[in-house]
């Protein structure tokens, strides 16, 4: 294993005799330039401040959404419209692990940290793509998952990596060796819980969501002490007896109320608020057994980072019966509305509407449909959808749009401060929704029926560029299938994404015109990332069972 | 940890046989895992009709358990062993038994006449393969009698566009000089398309090199067999198709 420098080399600079203040400034400038040029690795343990300023280090990729606002925007501009046609693979790492590969890689200090399906994880050398270590743990038999044994990546804090294992545990690994430091159960997989989310490190906490709403679980958002692994707080996303919102659940239906938290949220350090989307109520398609709005499912919650106390919530789909989780990225943007600045959080919701909310109060600013929607005729001034009747699932099947995957599912979105546009992949299509009465049996599917597609009219997709304040679509790049991969925006004026047919491609961020493509040989589900190594900008993406890194020749 | 397939633990007797609660629980699982092919009421579709109490894999509970657990080789039936585990598979067997309430439909057709029609007047063999004989453009029918329900096969003959077999779309490429190439889809994506034309020629085009590439959700199979053939002849053809079960293959 080759050594990776963990700290910059300030001694080289300190040789110059000069007043201390000058040294400090000079030091800062040289280090900054050196870092931008990629001459020095982004170095040292990642602390709270590093994470707060993650956007300012273009060489690294330190968290799921790149910065706490969830922009997934890289300031690197070596690769641009003029030369992207020459982008070529530099290395490929084959995991040999089958299943959907959904990881957002982290890049720090000469290594790339990735998680793979079924409890596998690796550290890869940025020069060659060779694995420096491999972590794996057998998945216990009997773990129920709706959608594959997937995992979406690490969080990094100090020298420690944090990931969830499928059987609903949180594990801490030494970033240099991959050795387990501790592993703590989040909840009991035998009751239907599982975990797939990339954790989020905030201060000395590791924030973790849960999956399992198709198996009669009750969802929550947890915070764990990053050092000890002990749980610090839990916010139940399904209001129970005594909680505000408890009357939005009939009878004891809250006990199996769903509300998973399977996609990483965002964080505003100034407001000290964590924003996290919540999933569908359970059972998915039979709403009769859970009368009421079913708070806080299909909602965005803003909770205090230190205590987990709810500051506000906004429910996109009250009493959802179409499995339209609100687990799309909640992206933090500062917008101008009616000539006034407003701190906003935006979400391209699975229910077919794009929303912008005031992130201080949760007040609705804008809602606009971005795909075919048959269930609501807009969102009213009270923030509730204006429902169209006859859209609920039935015993014999009822057509509704969007389909079960929604207009936009979990695929990562991106914001470019260069264009001021917000980009996300979409799916356009409808499905037949079936419901049935179903008695809950511990640990078994509790979806109360299913959906069918239309073989002769399958869903298609697109990538859209949206003006975030109005929701107006600036351009749309059509895909032949439903959206599969997330997005990356770069300062080179490019949007990178992939598709179900195996292509990774680059679009012009201003026009949506395709500028480059590469056939990876496997479905692209994960979002691409960008980083800098030895002076070169790279684009990397998980495709099929491989991790591939691209650069200019 | 050594993972033994659930089939290794297969027992002849279903521990959930006629267990009302298990059957009710399995109804939900059936809808999620099985109904896309076998129909929402198990009435069949792309997959066999399960309501008649007769199964190509054998009529014993153990045979049903095995096919759910291991899948059926040569068909689209996948293995559910790792996803479901033995208890859930036994519950599904109990559910499938509970919906076997209908009698098998009487097929009036003559298999031999149907076979003649298939290879001669109908010219079905131009595009469809049975064992080693026949064309390449249409779906392979070697196992059609095991794979498909009777209703699905009938619909495929008289209304082939009603529900296309996956990947049987028509692709039409218009070249820059105006020529059109059409064939059955072998590949179709945002940047290219691949197709097999009626003369068995393989084509591959990038979108950037041609005027247009269009995908149509219709089959190249003629849609007038329902008019060309008498009702009796369609029945003969169906009798032949239902008999196609891949010989002694598992």
Model pLDDT for residues A469-481, shown as the tens digit of each residue: 999 999 999 999 9
Q: Do residues A282 and A256 lie in contact, with contact meaning Cβ atoms separated by under 8 Å?
A: yes
Which chain A residue has its CA at the smallest distance from B3's CA?
Answer: A141
Order of strands, sheet of A310-315, starting from the edge strand that comes earlier in the sequence: A266-268, A273-277, A299-304, A310-315
Give the Cα separation of A540 and A542 in Å (integer): 7
Structural domain for B18, as ranges: 11-98
Give mean pLDDT, residues A528-539: 98
The pLDDT value recorded for residue B249 is 42
Question: Are B217 and A501 a contacting pair at CB < 8 A?
Answer: no
Average pLDDT, chain A: 92
Q: Do residues A122 and A111 lie in contact, with contact meaning Cβ atoms separated by under 8 Å?
A: no
Question: Are B190 and A499 a contacting pair at CB < 8 A?
Answer: yes
Give the Cα separation of A118 and A97 in Å (integer): 8
The pLDDT value recorded for residue A20 is 39
Rg (Cα) of chain A, in Å, rounded? 23
Interface of B with A (CB under 8 A): 1, 3, 21, 24-25, 27-29, 31-32, 35-36, 40, 85, 88, 161-164, 166, 187-191, 215, 217
Question: Are A457 and B217 a contacting pair at CB < 8 A?
Answer: yes
Question: Residue A396's closest CA among A447, A445, A431, A433?
Answer: A433
pLDDT in tens, B139-185: 999 999 888 999 999 999 999 999 888 788 999 999 999 999 999 99
Parallel, antiparallel or unpaired: strands A73-74 and A488-490: parallel
Residue B6 in any domain: the answer is: no
Question: Are B163 and A455 a contacting pair at CB < 8 A?
Answer: yes
pLDDT-derived band at A383 (thresholds 50, 70, 90) equals: very high
Residue B248 has pLDDT above 90, yes or no: no
Give mean pLDDT, residues A213-230: 97
Question: Are B217 and A456 a contacting pair at CB < 8 A?
Answer: yes
Cβ contacts from A onto B, under 8 A: 73
Whether residue A159 is preceded by a cis peptide bond, meaning omega within 30 degrees of 0, is no
The pLDDT value recorded for residue A21 is 37
One domain for residues B22 and B84: yes
The pLDDT value recorded for residue A287 is 97
Give mean pLDDT, residues B222-229: 92
Domain final residue pick, B98, B126, B148? B98
Percentage of residues in chain A with pLDDT exceeding 70? 92
Average pLDDT, chain B: 90
Least confident of A5-14, A47-56, A72-81, A127-136: A5-14
Question: Residue A315's closest CA among A353, A343, A284?
Answer: A353
The encoded tokens of residue A475 equal 């351009």
Nearest to A503 among B1, B3, B189 (CB): B189
Question: Residue A343's closest CA among A321, A369, A312?
Answer: A312
What is the SS3 assignment for A41?
Answer: coil
One domain for residues B63 and B118: no
Give the Cα separation of A508 and A514 in Å (integer): 6
Residue B214 has pLDDT above 60, yes or no: yes
Question: Are B31 and A456 a contacting pair at CB < 8 A?
Answer: no
The string over A184-208, giving b where at least 16 C-beta atoms fall within 10 Å of a residue's C-beta and e elsewhere, is bebbebeebbbbbbbbbbbbbbbbb
Question: Are B31 and A449 a contacting pair at CB < 8 A?
Answer: yes
pLDDT-derived band at B3 (thresholds 50, 70, 90) equals: very low
The pLDDT value recorded for residue A42 is 46
Give the Cα separation of B76 and B129 in Å (integer): 17
- Nearest CA of chain B to the CA of A296: how many Å? 25
| Architecture of the domain made up of A48-362+374-543 | 8 Propeller (2.140)
Helix B81-98 with B20-29: angle, nearest 10 deg: 120
Order of strands, sheet of A88-94, starting from the edge strand that comes earlier in the sequence: A88-94, A546-551, A536-543, A529-533
- DSSP type of residue A211: B
Residue B117 has pLDDT above 70, yes or no: yes
* CB contacts, 8 Å: B191 with chain A: 503, 505, 514, 517
Residue B158 in any domain: the answer is: yes
The pLDDT value recorded for residue B247 is 65
One domain for residues B37 and B90: yes
Residue B250 in any domain: the answer is: no
Question: Which of A394, A437, A438 to probe by mutation at the B interface, max B CB count within 10 Å?
Answer: A438
SS (H, E, C) A391-406: CCCECCCEEECCCCCC
* CB contacts, 8 Å: B21 with chain A: 439, 441
Contacts of residue A222, Cβ cutoff 8 Å, sequence gap at least 6: A186, A207, A208, A209, A210, A231, A233, A234, A235
Residue B3 in any domain: the answer is: no
Question: Residue A462's closest CA among A411, A520, A394?
Answer: A411
The encoded tokens of residue A415 equal 């914001």
pLDDT in tens, A508-528: 999 999 999 999 999 999 999
Q: Do residues A329 and A413 lie in contact, with contact meaning Cβ atoms separated by under 8 Å?
A: yes
Q: How many domains does chain B have?
A: 3
pLDDT-derived band at B1 (thresholds 50, 70, 90) equals: very low
Residue B73 in any domain: the answer is: yes
Contacts of residue A386, Cβ cutoff 8 Å, sequence gap at least 6: A376, A377, A378, A379, A380
Q: Which H or E run contains A52?
A: helix A48-52
Question: Which of B22, B33, B189, B223 to probe by mutation at the A interface, max A CB count within 10 Å?
Answer: B189
Percentage of residues in chain A with pLDDT exceeding 90? 89
Q: Do residues A120 and A95 lie in contact, with contact meaning Cβ atoms separated by under 8 Å?
A: yes
Interface of A with B (CB under 8 A): 138, 141-142, 396-397, 434, 436, 438-439, 441, 444-450, 452, 455-457, 478-480, 499, 501-503, 505, 514, 517
Whether residue A364 is preceded by a cis peptide bond, meaning omega within 30 degrees of 0, is no
One domain for residues B63 and B151: no
The pLDDT value recorded for residue B75 is 87
Whether residue A466 is preceded by a cis peptide bond, meaning omega within 30 degrees of 0, is no
One domain for residues B238 and B158: yes
Residue B213 has pLDDT above 70, yes or no: yes
Nearest to B190 among A434, A436, A479 (CB): A479
Phi and psi of A381, rounded to 5°? Answer: -65, -20
What is the SS3 assignment for B145?
Answer: helix
Nearest to A436 among B31, B85, B190 (CB): B31
Percentage of residues in chain B with pLDDT exceeding 70? 94
**Which CATH number fits the domain that encloses residue B174?**
2.30.30.100
Give mean pLDDT, residues A241-268: 97
What is the SS3 assignment for A15?
Answer: coil
pLDDT-derived band at B246 (thresholds 50, 70, 90) equals: confident
The pLDDT value recorded for residue B74 is 82
- DSSP type of residue A158: B
Question: Are B28 and A448 a contacting pair at CB < 8 A?
Answer: yes
Residue B215 has, within 13 A of its CA and on its CB side, a CA count of 25
Q: Taking the CA atoms of B47, B35, A322 and A217 in sequence, report the sign of the dihedral they define.
A: negative
Bridge partners of A211, per DSSP, are A194
The pLDDT value recorded for residue A11 is 32
* CB contacts, 8 Å: A398 with chain B: none
Bridge partners of A266, per DSSP, are A275
Residue of A293, A323, A392, A499 marked active site? A323
Residue A19 has pLDDT above 60, yes or no: no
For residue A12, CA distances in Å to A23, A26, A100 come to 11, 12, 46
The pLDDT value recorded for residue B164 is 87
- Nearest CA of chain A to the CA of B162: how many Å? 8
The pLDDT value recorded for residue A43 is 63
* CB contacts, 8 Å: A524 with chain B: none
Give mean pLDDT, residues B109-134: 95
pLDDT in tens, A315-352: 999 999 999 999 999 999 999 999 999 999 999 999 99
The pLDDT value recorded for residue B11 is 66
Question: Are A141 and B85 a contacting pair at CB < 8 A?
Answer: yes
* CB contacts, 8 Å: A396 with chain B: 40
User: How far is C-alpha A130 from the chain's CA centre?
Assistant: 26
Q: Taking the CA atoms of B47, B53, B55 and B59 in sequence, report the sign of the dihedral they define.
A: positive
Nearest to A501 among B21, B85, B189 (CB): B189
Residue B116 in any domain: the answer is: yes
- Nearest CA of chain B to the CA of A142: how many Å? 8
One domain for residues B132 and B239: yes
Domain final residue pick, B98, B126, B155? B98
Nearest to B29 among A138, A445, A505 (CB): A445
- Nearest CA of chain B to the CA of A34: how many Å? 40
The pLDDT value recorded for residue A13 is 31
Q: DSSP states of A213-241 as a string?
A: GGGT-B-EEEEEETTT--EEEEEESS--T
Residue B55 has pLDDT above 60, yes or no: yes
In terms of pLDDT, which residue wins out, A91 or A34?
A: A91
Residue B34 in any domain: the answer is: yes
Residue A266 has pLDDT above 90, yes or no: yes
pTM score, two decimals? Answer: 0.91
* CB contacts, 8 Å: B188 with chain A: 480, 501
Give the Cα separation of A451 and A301 in Å (integer): 28
- Nearest CA of chain B to the CA of A1: how many Å? 29
One domain for residues B48 and B92: yes
CA dihedral A281, A286, A288, A291 (to 10 degrees): 10
Residue B105 in any domain: the answer is: no
One domain for residues B123 and B194: no
* CB contacts, 8 Å: A393 with chain B: none
Q: DSSP states of A53-90 as a string?
A: TGGG-TT-B-STTSSTT---EE---SS-TTTGGG-EEE
Residue B59 has pLDDT above 90, yes or no: no
Give the Cα separation of A523 and A543 in Å (integer): 6
pLDDT in tens, A31-50: 444 444 444 444 678 999 99
Nearest to B190 among A438, A456, A480 (CB): A480
One domain for residues B158 and B228: yes
The string over A210-227, giving b where at least 16 C-beta atoms fall within 10 Å of a residue's C-beta and e elsewhere, is bbbbbbbbbbbbbbbebe
Give the Cα separation of B199 and B226 in Å (integer): 25
pLDDT-derived band at A7 (thresholds 50, 70, 90) equals: very low
The pLDDT value recorded for residue A5 is 37
Q: Do residues B191 and B201 lie in contact, with contact meaning Cβ atoms separated by under 8 Å?
A: no
pLDDT in tens, A425-446: 999 999 999 999 888 888 788 9
The pLDDT value recorded for residue B142 is 94
What is the SS3 assignment for A170?
Answer: strand
Percentage of residues in chain B with pLDDT exceeding 90? 69
Question: Are B28 and A446 a contacting pair at CB < 8 A?
Answer: yes
A323 catalytic residue (yes or no): yes
pLDDT-derived band at A17 (thresholds 50, 70, 90) equals: very low
**Which CATH number fits the domain that encloses residue B75?**
1.10.760.10
């Amino acid at each position: 294993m080759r050594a990776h420098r963990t700290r910059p080399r300030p001694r080289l600079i300190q040789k110059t005799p000069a007043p201390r203040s000058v040294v400090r400034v000079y030091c800062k400038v040289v280090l900054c330039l050196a870092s931008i040029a990629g001459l020095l690795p982004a170095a040292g343990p990642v602390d709270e401040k590093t994470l707060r300023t993650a956007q300012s280090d273009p060489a690294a990729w330190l968290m799921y959404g790149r910065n706490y606002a969830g922009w997934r925007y890289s300031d690197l501009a070596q690769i641009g419209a003029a030369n992207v046609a020459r982008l070529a693979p530099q290395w490929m790492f084959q995991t040999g692990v089958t299943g959907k590969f959904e990881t957002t890689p982290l890049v720090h200090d000469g290594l790339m940290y990735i998680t793979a399906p079924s409890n596998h994880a690796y550290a890869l050398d940025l020069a060659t793509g060779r694995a420096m270590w491999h972590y794996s743990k057998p998945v216990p038999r009997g773990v129920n998952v709706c959608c594959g044994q997937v995992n979406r990546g690490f969080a990094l804090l100090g020298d420690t990596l944090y990931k969830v294992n499928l059987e609903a545990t949180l594990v801490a690994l030494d970033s240099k060796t991959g050795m387990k430091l501790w592993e703590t159960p989040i909840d009991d997989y035998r009751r239907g819980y599982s975990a797939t989310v990339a954790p989020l490190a905030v201060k000395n906490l590791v924030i973790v969501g849960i999956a399992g709403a198709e198996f009669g679980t009750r969802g929550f958002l947890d915070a764990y002490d990053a050092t000890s692994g002990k749980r610090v707080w839990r916010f139940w996303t399904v209001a129970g007896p005594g909680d505000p919102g408890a009357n939005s659940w009939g009878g004891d239906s809250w006990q199996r109320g769903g509300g998973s938290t399977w996609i990483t949220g965002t964080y505003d350090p100034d407001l000290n608020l964590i924003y996290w989307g919540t999933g569908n109520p359970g059972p998915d398609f039979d709403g009769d057994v859970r009368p009421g709005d079913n708070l806080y499912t299909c909602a965005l919650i803003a909770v205090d980072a230190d205590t987990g106390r709810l500051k506000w919530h906004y429910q996109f789909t009250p009493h959802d019966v179409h499995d339209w989780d609100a687990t799309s990225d909640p992206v933090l943007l500062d917008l101008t509305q009616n000539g006034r600045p407003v701190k906003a959080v935006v979400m391209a919701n699975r229910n077919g509407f794009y929303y912008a909310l005031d992130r201080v109060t949760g007040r609705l600013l804008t809602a606009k449909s971005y795909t075919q929607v048959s269930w609501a005729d807009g969102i009213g001034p009270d923030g509730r959808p204006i429902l169209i009747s006859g859209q609920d699932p039935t015993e014999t099947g009822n057509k509704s749009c969007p389909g079960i995957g929604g207009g936009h599912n979990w695929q990562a979105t991106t914001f470019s401060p260069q264009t001021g546009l917000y980009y996300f992949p979409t799916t356009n299509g409808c499905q037949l929704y079936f419901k049935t009465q179903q008695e809950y049996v511990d640990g078994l599917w509790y979806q109360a029926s299913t959906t069918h597609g239309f073989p002769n009219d399958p869903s298609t997709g697109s990538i859209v560029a949206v003006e975030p304040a109005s929701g107006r679509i600036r351009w749309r790049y059509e895909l032949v299938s439903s959206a599969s991969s997330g997005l990356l925006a770069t300062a080179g004026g490019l949007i990178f994404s992939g598709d179900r047919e195996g292509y990774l491609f680059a679009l012009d961020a201003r026009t949506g015109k395709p500028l480059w493509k590469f056939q990876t040989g496997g479905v692209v589900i994960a979002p691409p990332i960008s980083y800098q190594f030895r002076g070169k900008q790279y684009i990397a993406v998980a495709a099929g069972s491989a991790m591939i890194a691209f650069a200019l020749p | 940890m050594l993972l033994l397939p659930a089939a290794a633990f297969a027992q002849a007797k279903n521990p959930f046989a006629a267990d009302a609660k298990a059957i009710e629980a399995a109804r939900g699982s059936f809808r999620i895992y099985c109904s896309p092919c076998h129909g929402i009421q198990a009435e069949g579709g792309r997959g066999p009709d399960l309501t008649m109490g007769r199964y190509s894999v054998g009529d014993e509970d153990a045979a049903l358990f095995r096919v759910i657990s291991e899948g059926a080789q040569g068909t689209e039936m996948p293995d559910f062993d790792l996803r479901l585990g033995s208890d859930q598979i036994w519950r599904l067997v109990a559910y499938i038994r509970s919906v076997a309430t209908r009698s098998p439909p009487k097929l009036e057709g003559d298999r031999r006449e149907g076979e003649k029609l298939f290879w001669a007047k109908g010219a079905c063999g131009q595009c469809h393969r049975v064992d080693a004989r026949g064309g390449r453009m249409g779906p392979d029918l070697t196992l059609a009698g095991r794979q498909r329900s009777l209703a699905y096969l009938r619909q495929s003959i008289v209304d082939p566009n009603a529900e296309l077999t996956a990947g049987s779309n028509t692709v039409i490429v218009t070249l820059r000089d105006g020529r059109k190439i059409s064939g059955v889809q072998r590949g179709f994506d945002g940047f290219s398309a691949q197709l097999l034309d009626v003369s068995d020629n393989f084509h591959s085009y990038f979108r950037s090199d041609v005027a247009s590439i269009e995908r149509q959700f219709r089959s190249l199979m003629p849609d007038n067999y329902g008019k060309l053939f008498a009702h009796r002849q369609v029945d003969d053809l169906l009798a032949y198709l239902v008999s196609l079960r891949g010989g002694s293959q598992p």
